[in-house]
Structure 1
Amino acid sequence: MPQNYQHILTLAFAVQEINENPHILPNLTLGFHIYDSHLNPKLTYRAALQHISPRNRFVPNYRCHIQDNVQAVLEDINSDDSQIVQDLFSIYKIPQLLYGPAPVMMDNTQPPAFYSMVPNETQQYLGILQILLHFNWKWIGFFTMVGVNLEWFVQRMFPAFSQHGICFAFMYSQSDMVGNDYMKGYLKSFSELYEKMMRSTANVIIFKGQARSFMKVRGLILKAQIEYMMPKGKVWIVTVHMDLKTYHERISGDIQIFHGMISVSLHSNEPRGFQEFFKSRKPSSAEGDAFLKDFWSYTFHCALPNSVLGNVHQANCTGDEALKDLPAIEMSITGHSYSIYNAVYAVAYALQAMHSSKVQTDKQGERQKLLNHQPWQLHHFLRCVSFNNSAGDQISFDHNGELIAGLDIINWVTFPNQSFVRVKVGKIHAQAPSQQALQLDEESMEWHPRFNQVRPVSLCSENCNPGYRMTKREGEPFCCYNCSQCPEGTISDHQDMPDCFQCSAGHFPHKDQNYCIPKMISFLSYEEPLGAGFLCVALTLSLITVLVLGIFMKHHSTPIVKANNSKLTYTLLSALLLCFLCALLFIGKPGKIMCLLRQTAFGIIFSIAVSSVLAKTITVIVAFMATKPGSRMRKWVGKRLSVSIVLSCSLIQVGICIIWLVKSPPFPDVDMHSMTEEVVLECNDASPTMFYCVLGYMGLLASVSFLVAFIARKLPDSFNEAKFITFSMLIFCTVWLSFVPAYLSIKGKYMVAVEIFSILASSAGLLGFIFFPKCYIIVLRPELNHREQLIRKNQ
């Protein structure tokens, strides 16, 4: 893979910079050996043993030259081979810096024996989780070529994904292959698996594996597309160690299926001078670079002098070919190369710190010398190393020996000629809060052509809009649900709410049940038509009552006024006037005094009015009976009877009201719940029992008055008011009997309106039926208002 040559150049560039810098390791020269594992466990282990052998001799555990003093090892080893290599170097306490994938630790109780230049698996997947949440991808697939990674993912990361509402359409693990094992059975097995992934409704697939696993997947996908099915676009998300790389043309395959792929990549910054160093590489000026000739021949498809021809038809290389003209070669430093660069500098600064702490003076004190340190002594200084590299990034390790660094988000853009460009579209900051860690430029992202450059959707179910709730589908993952309308009186104000909720006090649901509206403050006010209408009616009836009272007072000496007990008449008219005016206590914003007076004043005044009517009725009966010869009722005729009836009946109501005010007085209150869209300001009666006692006593007086008037209705007309009182009390009783069910069934300010209407209607009934006939005679038929006329009519 030609791209890997950048790793080698980065190593050489970092070592050259350090050796040329007089401030880092003066009088000391760094060297390096490069070993290729060849993806073969045996060769990998032999290469590890070579580190502890003399130069050019395979004699493990011996060291013959100071130049072969291995101080640290930089590793990027296949996970299948990594454990045996790490165990070997751990025996000798040789520091190991991993710029490749760290082995997955199922047990985190033991600290790792290496330093990782790469954020750990957990950090990578949490970064992927933030990307999924940003794009609202809740229905995804997971695919890996290495079984242990799937086991680790299920144990460690699956709960975190589930807690954030993400579930998996599938989780597949394909067993790995050895070499070029493309047997028909294996290909068929993978093709069936690939078809399931492509047919899945999940448009996002997380792929976990190593670089070589990704190569094999590309080859398998190519064959599966050719032999079994047409390709279908998906959004692939890969971890740090997955790269699109150009390798042998025969197995390269079409990379268009990975167009728009997203990877969480190692953070990288361009070190000063690196691109110039890279571009300056020429076969003529790269003495000692054993890799350059092969790299040059392979990438430019030509043959250099003294090299074995790969193809007899290849032309000779001129040596002046330009690397910048190769689309498959990235001139900017990649994340893996940047990790190598930082690893070399970390070792150099640790060595400098170690040597500075171990400088000793000999017995004469004339000169200093460096002790021959052992590699295990370097661990302490590596853990504490902290520096800023030439790109401006701070490099240090945490307590687990992991580099403190963020992740870059890369969007891969592919082209038909098998070339590609990695576009950095964001970053995940290492130590920022999880809600602020993700920084993403979505407008710069490319998507697979299948999505028509529109952000892909990956959901098992469509989002439930506000006003709806999710209802689970039986037997399916929690991401799969139906949307149901919220029950009446509840809302949901976000997408995908698991349940609906009621609005807070003082608010009510919008008709679409997607947000709450503040309730209007409601009370019967003078400004609204209903309140203004009641005010006009009450004042009008009050004026009429005053006019009637004035008429009676003006004609107080006339027979019709005298015959009806003028004092009792004045009392009744005054009570009716107060009845009309007390209706005004029910209009306006309730206050403390108003609430205390409303029902008590109403009860007492009406009791006076009804007891006056009762007294008038009884007076008529007594007066008629007293006219009979030898009747004993003559002694009851007079003012004392009427005064006694009015006072005794009224004082009982006064007593009830006093008990009410002392025991549990009414008070201003706010009713949040009776009306859906209104907050009602009201007077709380505090004791409904006392209110119904007041109302019941008034009803008892009215019933007795009606009964007595009904009995006396056939007395002679000249002395008789009983007929008029009967009609008036019939109206009165009818109004208040209708009031009770209406009052109990209506809420809010309309309860007050019903009571005001009952007060005005019943009072108007008394005023009209009792006094209007008399006013008619007094004002319009004065000739009938004579004693002779009354006596003649009686005879």
Structure 2
Amino acid sequence: MRNPLSIKGDGFIQSFWEQIFRYRFSNPRIDKETICTGEEKLEALPESIFEMKMTSPSYGIYNAVYVVAHALHTMRFSKFKHRAMTQPTSMCNDNCCSGYSRMKKEGRPFFCYDCHRCPEGKISNQTDMNDCFPCPEDQYPNKDLDTCIPKDIAFLTYEEPLGITLVIFALSLSFVTALVLEIFMKHQDTPIVKANNQNLSYTLLVSLFLSFLCTLLFIGRPEKWTCLLRQPASAIIFSVALSCMLAKTIIVVLAFMTTKPGSRMRKWVGNKLATTIVLSCSLIQIVICTIWLATAPPFPNFDVHSMTKEIILECNEGSVTMFYTVLTFLGFLASVSFSVAFLVRKLPDSFNEAKFITFSMLVFCSVWLSFVPTYLSTKGKYMVAVEIFSILSSSAGLLSCIFFPKCYIIVLRPELNDKVQLRNKH
């Protein structure tokens, strides 16, 4: 609709008109046939000279105009403060504030966009950011997703309620074990103590005492030496305890067989057999742990990925294969002890320690069978707490099932601690 005649003071349109139509405006020196009337139509020009449709250069000019308009608008309202969200910056939308990123609207000009909240684990700390960015590994986003907060370092400590509770249980059970050991040593000449192989009983009590105390290695800040000691130490101590249980069970079987006339098994019943079983089983576990420590030992490690708001300071087991090899050997000892004790549980009552061993190994196996899935499903300090609880509960099961009935007779029913009474009772 524009033409040179309707525009005053616009020299550009007149010059453009003369060049595009190749006419001149009124001039006494030129022919009337070459004079522009100003009423020529742009639609009459061929497309090669003047394109009436929107083209790429035209669209670039169109966007450039809006860029300038956008800049002028920002300059105009920059003196106003986060009112930026309510002040329109274009014809399409408001600003995207911190915690959001821009996403272009399809089919609309480049300055038209939607605001999308940053995804989990990412933030944006400025307005109108094109994309959100992740926090460093040792930090996590705040609630508004506009800044990163340093993660806390987490491990099971002696100061927190969970750590204090586990320490109290460990020390209490170790005290009870020491008390039982004192009772057995004080009454070592009585029939009930002699009937159950004193050396095995003492070895089993010492190993249970150490198993309760070794749980203290799992509490507190993981250090290099605690990581090296805690798993191998607990594994070897449990191997000694379980081999004592196995030896007790085998001796019960042999003791019954020696009662038969002409039995040649009498020479196998004694301390030599018990010592051989305990030493051989313990030595196998010691060899496994030595290989573990020599090839891929445990070490302190920072886990920054498992928890959103915490860095877990833990003992990395080094070789997962060796860790589960140690557990598998313990499971083998427990299974053999349980199986043998279960098969001979109906022997004459004079040899009824097999019943106590059967029940104690049932408790032990139940605890450790539930330990594996629970251990794998927890993280951080609660994973350590699960292992401590498993050690304490399984050791307490052995202590209570094997020794408490005997302590009851020794302390509260001393009249029954007599060879004749025991035989009459059974």
User: Which residue of the partner structure matches residue 639 of structure 1?
Assistant: 271
Q: CA RMSD in A?
A: 3.0
| Structure whose residues are more often helix by fraction | 2
- 360, 384, 394: which is aligned to 1:728? 360
- Conserved 8 A contact 1:469-1:500: yes
- Conserved 8 A contact 2:302-2:312: yes
2:250 is the counterpart of 1:629: no
User: Which residue of the partner structure matches residue 677 of structure 1?
Assistant: 309
Q: 1:640 to 1:458 in 2, by over 3 A?
A: same
Give matches, 1:606-625, under 5 Å. Answer: 606-625=238-257
C-alpha distance after superposition, 1:67-124 (max 9, x if no partner) = xxxxxxxxxxx9979xxxxxxxxxxxxxxxxxxxxxxxxxxxxxxxxxxxxxxxxxxx
User: Which residue of the partner structure matches residue 395 of structure 2?
Assistant: 763
Question: CA–CA distance in 2 between the matches of 1:574 and 1:518?
Answer: 45
Question: CA–CA distance in 1 between the matches of 2:110 and 2:348?
Answer: 89
2:89 is the counterpart of 1:458: yes
User: Which residue of the partner structure matches residue 696 of structure 1?
Assistant: 328
User: Which residue of the partner structure matches residue 587 of structure 1?
Assistant: 219
Question: CA–CA distance in 2 between the matches of 1:563 and 1:681?
Answer: 49
Question: CA–CA distance in 2 between the matches of 1:739 and 1:441?
Answer: 62
Q: 1:672 to 1:236 in 2, by over 3 A?
A: closer
| Secondary structure of the corresponding residue to residue 344 of structure 2 | helix
User: Which residue of the partner structure matches residue 108 of structure 2?
Assistant: 476
Shift of the alpha carbon at 1:622?
0.8
Give matches, 1:416-431, under 5 Å. Answer: none
Matched letter for residue 599 of structure 1: Q
User: Which residue of the partner structure matches residue 792 of structure 1?
Assistant: 424
- Conserved 8 A contact 2:87-2:94: no
User: Which residue of the partner structure matches residue 554 of structure 1?
Assistant: 186
User: Which residue of the partner structure matches residue 773 of structure 1?
Assistant: 405
Shift of the alpha carbon at 1:482?
1.3
| Secondary structure of the corresponding residue to residue 469 of structure 1 | strand
User: Which residue of the partner structure matches residue 686 of structure 1?
Assistant: 318
C-alpha distance after superposition, 1:647-691 (max 9, x if no partner) = 000000000000000001111111111111111111111100000
Matched letter for residue 725 of structure 1: I
Shift of the alpha carbon at 1:734?
0.7
Question: CA–CA distance in 1 between the matches of 2:253 and 2:69?
Answer: 98
Question: CA–CA distance in 2 between the matches of 1:702 and 1:753?
Answer: 23
C-alpha distance after superposition, 1:585-623 (max 9, x if no partner) = 000000111000011001100110111111111111111
Q: How many residues align?
A: 373
- 707, 728, 733: which is aligned to 2:339? 707
C-alpha distance after superposition, 1:48-76 (max 9, x if no partner) = xxxxxxxxxxxxxxxxxxxxxxxxxxxxx
Question: CA–CA distance in 2 between the matches of 1:701 and 1:527?
Answer: 36
Shift of the alpha carbon at 1:633?
1.1
Structure 1 segments of 4 or more deviating over 3 A?
A: 78-81, 167-171, 202-206, 440-443
Matched letter for residue 606 of structure 1: F
User: Which residue of the partner structure matches residue 499 of structure 1?
Assistant: 131
C-alpha distance after superposition, 1:700-729 (max 9, x if no partner) = 101111111111211122222111111111
Matched letter for residue 392 of structure 2: L
Matched letter for residue 95 of structure 2: N
User: Which residue of the partner structure matches residue 748 of structure 1?
Assistant: 380
- Conserved 8 A contact 1:490-1:509: yes
Matched letter for residue 668 of structure 1: P
Runs (5+) with no aligned partner, structure 1: 1-38, 42-77, 82-153, 172-201, 207-234, 238-261, 263-439, 444-454
| Secondary structure of the corresponding residue to residue 476 of structure 1 | coil
Runs (5+) with no aligned partner, structure 2: 1-8, 17-56, 81-85
C-alpha distance after superposition, 1:435-460 (max 9, x if no partner) = xxxxx9959xxxxxxxxxxx964233
- 651, 661, 665: which is aligned to 2:293? 661
- Conserved 8 A contact 1:506-1:518: yes
Question: CA–CA distance in 1 between the matches of 2:291 and 2:278?
Answer: 20
C-alpha distance after superposition, 1:124-178 (max 9, x if no partner) = xxxxxxxxxxxxxxxxxxxxxxxxxxxxxx79xx79xx9xxxx65759xxxxxxx
Structure with larger RCO (C-alpha < 8 A, sep 6+): 2
Matched letter for residue 657 of structure 1: C
2:234 is the counterpart of 1:602: yes
Matched letter for residue 534 of structure 1: L
- 569, 572, 593: which is aligned to 2:201? 569
Question: CA–CA distance in 1 between the matches of 2:292 and 2:94?
Answer: 61
- Conserved 8 A contact 1:506-1:519: yes
Q: 1:169 to 1:786 in 2, by over 3 A?
A: farther
Question: CA–CA distance in 1 between the matches of 2:273 and 2:419?
Answer: 24
Shift of the alpha carbon at 1:737?
0.6
C-alpha distance after superposition, 1:434-492 (max 9, x if no partner) = xxxxxx9959xxxxxxxxxxx96423322222222222211112321112222222222
- Conserved 8 A contact 1:582-1:602: yes
- Conserved 8 A contact 1:203-1:458: no
Among all aligned residue pairs of Structure 1 and Structure 2, give the percentage whose two residues are the same amino acid. 61
Question: CA–CA distance in 1 between the matches of 2:113 and 2:316?
Answer: 47
- Conserved 8 A contact 2:88-2:94: no
Q: 1:667 to 1:502 in 2, by over 3 A?
A: same
Q: 1:79 to 1:726 in 2, by over 3 A?
A: farther
| Secondary structure of the corresponding residue to residue 661 of structure 1 | helix
Question: CA–CA distance in 1 between the matches of 2:64 and 2:417?
Answer: 101
C-alpha distance after superposition, 1:180-210 (max 9, x if no partner) = xxxxxxxxxxxxxxxxxxxxxx97697xxxx
Shift of the alpha carbon at 1:627?
1.0
Q: 1:772 to 1:168 in 2, by over 3 A?
A: farther
Shift of the alpha carbon at 1:793?
3.0
Question: CA–CA distance in 2 between the matches of 1:642 and 1:205?
Answer: 91
Shift of the alpha carbon at 1:730?
0.6
User: Which residue of the partner structure matches residue 158 of structure 2?
Assistant: 526
Matched letter for residue 382 of structure 2: Y
Give matches, 1:339-418, under 5 Å. Answer: none
Question: CA–CA distance in 2 between the matches of 1:580 and 1:659?
Answer: 25
| Secondary structure of the corresponding residue to residue 175 of structure 2 | helix
Q: 1:477 to 1:784 in 2, by over 3 A?
A: same
Question: CA–CA distance in 2 between the matches of 1:236 and 1:595?
Answer: 60
Which has the larger Rg? 1
